[in-house]
């Protein structure tokens, strides 16, 4: 699991990220690309998470990306093309 603290999480606001996610019911990692548009640091009895949007497919509402689901994370250049999956 990737570790975040408050300054590291806030530094990702507005950045496009490539994250490998741990899936609970699968033996492999899933890759996700999105722009961090918000950070939920602490809510009682809930884990912290990022609010993210896919820059290739803008949607009205951001998705939640739990910190505990992130295995690895890389900040990427917005000019990098989205890979075909």
Question: Is 85 inside any structural domain?
Answer: no
pLDDT of residue 20: 94
Question: Is 1 inside any structural domain?
Answer: no
pLDDT class of 55 with cuts at 50, 70, 90: confident
Decide if pLDDT at 27 tops 60.
yes
- Residue pair 18/2 in contact by the 8 Å Cβ criterion: no
What total of structural domains would you count in the chain? 1
Find the CATH number of the domain harbouring 34.
2.30.30
pLDDT of residue 84: 44
In Å, what is the CA distance from 44 to each residue of 47, 69, 80?
Answer: 8, 18, 37
Mean pLDDT of the chain: 85
pTM: 0.80
pLDDT of residue 79: 55
């Amino acid at each position: 699991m990737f570790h975040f603290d408050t300054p590291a999480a806030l530094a990702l606001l507005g950045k496009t990220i490539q994250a490998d996610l741990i899936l609970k019911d699968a033996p492999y990692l899933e890759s996700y690309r999105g722009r961090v548009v918000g950070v939920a640091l602490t809510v009682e009895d809930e884990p912290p998470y990022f609010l993210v949007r896919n820059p290739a497919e803008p949607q009205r509402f951001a998705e939640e990306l739990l910190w505990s689901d992130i295995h690895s994370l890389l900040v990427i250049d917005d000019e990098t093309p989205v890979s075909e999956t």
